[in-house]
Chain A
């Protein structure tokens, strides 16, 4: 069951990363696309907790860092998504989370993820852009992630919950 869960989460991440660059680029708003990988990590965090989500975040981030056409310093998205997974995992509840709660979590995580990525870029002097541009990108990404989170998160969480060992389900 664990292997199945890891495989399912891994597949979700790969699909998310591929769709992000090939499909959503057509819908890009000012060049910004919804960060599907981040949504999958948040979904996993809300179902499985911080440890699993941080690990998944690392895998998803490394994939985002390495999959073409990425050209930034590798490890930046990985760091951002590890933190996202961990933070989102902290607010996991015993009960099935309500929609506003999930959306609020997505919003916070989107802000956190995109900002951490942008800040590491500033620290490493990688792909420098102006502050207003950065704020604009972070804001648009936030809107996109929350909107798409409405669709992606319930599906992700349902899938991961289904694969949960029956005895431990809550």
Chain B
């Protein structure tokens, strides 16, 4: 109403608003830098880990609740997709059937491979581990350039860091940190993920690295320790595990070799591995815990599962 006065007051406020904002900006940027340095240098016992845990305790249940609420809505696109996807499934199964028939005809169905599978089954039965069932309640955005998910099982369910996470297709990843009710899982495809892998056919060892890719076509790189070993497409890669089962237990199927590239200059060979697990459609997973772990939910033991 009193235009000049109003304008002046507004202008003053503008000044008050804008001039100190540079100071505020500098302070906030410095705060960010401090946070980065603390987290980067501190490692496992930095104060940032404590903060992460505290935030996780608070946000975890909210994520859990939200995942529960949106689950029915999230399934909606599937209703519309179902007919098309069923048709796709039929086509896929038919082609797979054909391939399997052709394979069955080749009578010398690799005895070697069969032995490997047998061994695999035996390892799985012998490990004596149990599974904590859990559901994925949060997926890290790809903008963050790391591939992690939150699951709804935490320390009260017997989950601790550095445990193997699997689903019914194979290896999913490992637990990197836990809160009481949730755990963060680093997926195989993350660029920071390194897993010891073994070619089931030749029993050769190598290291699998994620490429930071996501989606159904995402691949992993297998660097073989001994690069004179023959590697064929379709070879199955399983984990070779480390002492005490952490972070990865032995004998969990990871994926199949889809292509092999060798670079004469580096005298090394790299195989591209297609993981069995579809990381874009993760839902029910199991965390491999040592037998006898106390948990607030029913554990699946290896014998029951089979």
Flag if B55 contacts A66 (CB, 8 Å): yes
Q: Is B63 in contact with chain A by the CB < 8 A criterion?
A: yes
Most chain B CB atoms below 10 A, which of A26, A63, A68, A75: A68
Residue in A closest to B39 when the chains form the complex, CB atoms: A74
Residues of the B chain whose Cβ atoms lie less than 8 Å from the Cβ of A10: none
Decide: A32 and B143 in contact? CB cutoff 8 A. yes
Q: Mark B134-158, 1 if CB is under 8 A from A, else 0.
A: 0001111111111011100000000
The answer to whether A22 and B70 touch (CB under 8 A), given A55-B24, A71-B184, A133-B213, is yes
Q: How far is the CB of A1 from chain B (nearest CB, A)?
A: 15
B138 touching A62 by the CB < 8 A rule? no
Instruction: Decide if the interface of chain A is mainly helix, strand, loop or mixed.
Output: helix
B74 touches A23 (CB 8 A): yes
> Do A67 and B56 form a contact, CB below 8 Å, given A28-B142, A75-B36?
yes
- Size category of the binding interface on chain A: 35 or more
Q: Say yes or no: is A79 at the interface (Cβ < 8 Å to chain B).
A: yes
Smallest CB separation, B34 vs chain A (Å): 8
Best-buried of B33, B38, B139, B213 by chain A (most CB within 10 Å):
B139
Judge whether B20 and A51 touch: CB under 8 Å: yes
A94 touching B10 by the CB < 8 A rule? yes
Convert B243-285 into 0s and 1s, putting 1 for each residue whose CB lies closer than 8 angstroms to a CB of A. Answer: 0000000000000000000000000000000000000100000
Q: Distance (Å) between the CB of B56 and the closest chain A CB? A: 5
- Tell me if B60 counts as interface (CB < 8 A to partner A): yes
What is the CA–CA distance of A70 and B186 in the complex, to the nearest angstrom?
Answer: 10
Please, which residue of chain A has its CB at the minimum distance from the CB of B48? A74
Q: Which of B33, B51, B140, B179 has the most CB of A within 10 A?
A: B140
Contact A28:B139 (CB < 8 A) given known A55-B28, A75-B36, A121-B145 = yes
> In this assembly, does B221 line the interface, its C-beta being within 8 Å of a C-beta of chain A?
no
User: A51-B17, A69-B150 are known contacts. Are A75 and B39 too (CB-CB below 8 A)?
Assistant: yes
Task: Pick the contact of B137: A22, A114, A120, A133 (CB < 8 A).
Answer: A22
Q: In the assembled complex, how far is the CB of residue B55 from the closest CB belonging to chain A, in whole angstroms?
A: 4
Contacts of A63 in B (CB 8 A): 55, 59
**CB closest residue in chain A, given B179:** A68
Interface residues in B167-205 (C-beta closer than 8 Å to A): 176-177, 179, 182-186, 190-192
- Contact: A170 with B24, CB < 8 Å? no
Neighbouring B residues of A33 by C-beta, 8 Å: 141-143
Contact mask for chain A residues 159-170; partner B; CB cutoff 8 A; 1 contact, 0 none? 000000000101
Provide the A1-31 mask, 1 if CB < 8 A to any CB of B, else 0. 0000000000000100111111111101011
B residues sitting closer than 8 Å to A (CB atoms) are 10, 13, 17-18, 20-21, 24-25, 28-29, 31-36, 38-40, 48, 51-52, 55-56, 59-60, 62-63, 66-67, 70, 73-74, 77, 137-146, 148-150, 176-177, 179, 182-186, 190-192, 211-215, 280
27 cross-chain CB contacts under 8 A: A22-B70, A23-B66, A23-B67, A25-B141, A31-B214, A51-B20, A66-B56, A67-B56, A67-B63, A68-B60, A68-B182, A69-B138, A71-B176, A71-B177, A73-B40, A74-B52, A75-B33, A76-B36, A82-B28, A83-B29, A86-B21, A89-B21, A94-B10, A124-B36, A129-B211, A133-B212, A137-B145
A33-B143, A70-B148, A137-B143 known, 11 other contacts, Cβ within 8 Å: A28-B280, A32-B142, A55-B24, A57-B28, A63-B55, A69-B185, A74-B35, A118-B145, A120-B36, A127-B190, A168-B13
**Interface pairs A-B: 10 shortest CB-CB:** A75-B35, A31-B142, A25-B139, A21-B138, A75-B36, A69-B148, A26-B74, A79-B32, A31-B214, A66-B55
